[in-house]
């Protein structure tokens, strides 16, 4: 919404082919809504709390009654929670997975809602297209799997990574270096960047395509025949919109799944 | 389309030169704090409320299903024992019925034999009596005929002789004659 206003105010429909803001930051750094003392509360911060609130509301209203014979809504919420608990936490990590299930479930639901904000009408902004949440959750996962690795295996956790016994001796140092780099540096980085970049790209595409489409069609008096371009942008944007719904769900799942896989690799490093 | 996308890229590249967008890929401190607080709330809610709630519900469900299955099992066992009872009763009833029928049949048979025997006796009795009656009747007729013949013979003889004969003497004579006749015919 805000993005489209920015685009509309800056767009020169007579000369441009697509409406883009002068500075791409404008699409991601949302305006301040109000101040609490010195603290500026931006729209993003409000959306972050809104996402948390929505997750709480879904869980609360879905599980409040706890009926033995569930309502449809209860069945959906139940299967969502059980999906992360059984199919992700327990199936991937093993019996120990129960311990990490609350973290993984909270992560999945929070990311799911945060991602779906991208395609939620009137919100239209994924909070995960800001680095804060992906980075924070990636760091938490990182801390968990490194901590668990050392706790379960002691110093052997590190030596098994640097000097992997299952690899032919000539290659061990090479695989060791790759593994060390991959486990301690690439894992958290890729985990965060994958989510962040996907949602940035999605938000950018949707804003530019749907925004440009709407503006060109709306200003057909100034744009003339170029309004047809707007129709094409809008149609393309709608296609991407459907695609982004899948991306939003998939990225929340992938982030959760990989977190579980990383934790599993620390619980049972031999696999 | 490609032209448009390349325009976007060019625009982005130009912007990158103009202003630094490094801030876009680094976490904003305020958002980070907000994210940590928001996620912590979600996590604690899931951990302390949602999971216990779902566990309790699953246990209740498990118990309910187990209870229902046990009930069903008990009902089934009861139904089986009832069925066995009924079958047994049915078999007993059939046996009893067969017994009754056999008894009735033999009773009827006995009665039949009895009736036939009685009828035969009766018939024999009737036949014997009839035979006796017939014999008596014949004797009586014979006697009567004898008297008649004697009288006729005397009447005839009187007419031939033309005088009254001593009836008692003549009767004795005829009697004797008839008795001789009887002896000869026997």
At A166-198, the pLDDT tens digits run: 888 888 889 999 999 999 999 999 999 999 999
pTM: predicted TM-score of the whole model, two decimal places: 0.72
| Predicted ipTM of the assembly | 0.90
**What is the model's pLDDT at position B84?**
95
* Average pLDDT over all residues of chain A: 89
Over the range A148-184, which residues count as b (16 or more CB within 10 Å of their CB) and which as e? bbeeebeeebbebbeebeeeeeeebeebbeebeeebe
Segment A126-144 shows an average pLDDT of 95
pLDDT value, residue B2: 47
Q: What is the pLDDT of residues B23-53, one digit of tens each?
A: 788 898 899 999 999 999 999 999 999 999 9
Whether residues B38 and A25 touch (CB distance < 8 A) is answered with no
Q: Is the pLDDT of residue B5 over 80?
A: no
Please tell me the distance in Å from A159's CA to the nearest CA on chain B: 32
Q: What are phi and psi of A200, to 5 degrees?
A: -60, -50
Q: What is the DSSP string of A10-67?
A: H--TTT-SS---SSGGGGTSPPEEEEETTEEEEHHHHHHHHHHHHHHHHHHHHHSS--
CA pair distance B43, A130, nearest whole angstrom: 20
Amino acid B1: pLDDT = 45
Kindly determine whether residue A39 and residue B31, on different chains, have CB atoms separated by under 8 Å.
Answer: no
Query: Which of the listed ranges A22-26, A104-108, B157-161 does the model predict with the highest average pLDDT?
Result: A104-108
The residues, ordered by sequence, that sit 6+ positions from A105 with a Cβ below 8 Å of its Cβ are: A81, A84, A85, A89, B46, B50, B51
Residues of B in contact with A67 (CB under 8 A): 57
Angle ∠(A89,A90,A91) on CA atoms, nearest 5: 100
Size of interface A-B (CB pairs under 8 A): 132
Closest CA to A160 of A269, A23, A244: A269
């Amino acid at each position: 919404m805000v993005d489209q206003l920015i685009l509309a105010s800056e767009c020169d429909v007579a000369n441009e082919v697509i409406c883009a803001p002068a500075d791409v930051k404008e699409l991601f750094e949302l305006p301040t809504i109000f101040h609490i003392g010195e603290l500026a509360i931006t729209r993003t911060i409000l959306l972050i709390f809104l996402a948390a609130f929505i997750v709480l509301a879904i869980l609360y209203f879905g599980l409040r009654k706890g009926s033995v014979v569930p309502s449809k809504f209860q069945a959906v919420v139940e299967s969502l929670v059980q999906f992360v608990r059984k199919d992700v936490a327990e199936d991937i990590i093993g019996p120990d997975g129960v311990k990490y299930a609350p973290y993984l479930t909270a992560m999945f639901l929070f990311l799911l809602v945060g991602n779906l904000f991208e395609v939620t009408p009137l919100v239209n902004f994924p909070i995960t297209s800001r680095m804060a949440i992906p980075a924070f959750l990636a760091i938490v996962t990182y801390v968990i799997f490194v901590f668990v690795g050392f706790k379960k295996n002691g110093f052997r956790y590190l030596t098994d990574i640097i000097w992997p016994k299952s690899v032919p001796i000539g290659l061990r140092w090479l695989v060791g270096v790759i593994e060390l780099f991959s486990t301690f540096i690439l894992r958290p980085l890729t985990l965060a960047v994958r989510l962040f970049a996907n949602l940035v790209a999605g938000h950018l595409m949707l804003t530019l395509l749907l925004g440009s489409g709407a503006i060109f069609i709306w200003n057909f008096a100034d744009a003339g025949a170029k309004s047809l371009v707007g129709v094409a942008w809008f149609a393309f944007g709608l296609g991407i919109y459907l695609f982004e719904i899948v991306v939003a769900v998939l990225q929340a799942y992938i982030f959760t799944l990989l977190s579980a896989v990383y934790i599993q690799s620390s619980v049972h490093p031999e696999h | 389309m490609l032209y448009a996308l390349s325009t976007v890229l060019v625009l982005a590249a130009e912007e990158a030169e103009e202003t630094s967008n490094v801030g876009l890929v680094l976490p904003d401190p305020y958002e980070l704090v907000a994210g940590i607080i928001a996620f912590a709330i979600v996590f604690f809610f899931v951990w302390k409320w949602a999971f216990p709630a779902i566990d309790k519900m699953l246990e209740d469900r498990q118990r309910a299903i187990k209870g229902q299955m046990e009930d069903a099992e008990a009902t089934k066992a009861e139904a089986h024992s009832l069925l066995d009872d009924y079958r047994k009763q049915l078999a007993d009833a059939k046996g009893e019925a067969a017994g009754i029928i056999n008894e009735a049949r033999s009773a009827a048979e006995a009665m039949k034999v009895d009736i036939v025997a009685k009828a035969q006796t009766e018939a024999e009795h009737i036949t014997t009596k009839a035979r006796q009656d017939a014999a008596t009747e014949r004797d009586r007729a014979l006697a009567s005929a004898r008297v008649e013949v004697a009288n006729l013979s005397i009447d005839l003889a009187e007419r031939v002789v033309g005088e009254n004969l001593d009836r008692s003497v003549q009767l004795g004579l005829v009697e004797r004659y008839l008795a001789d006749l009887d002896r000869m015919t026997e």
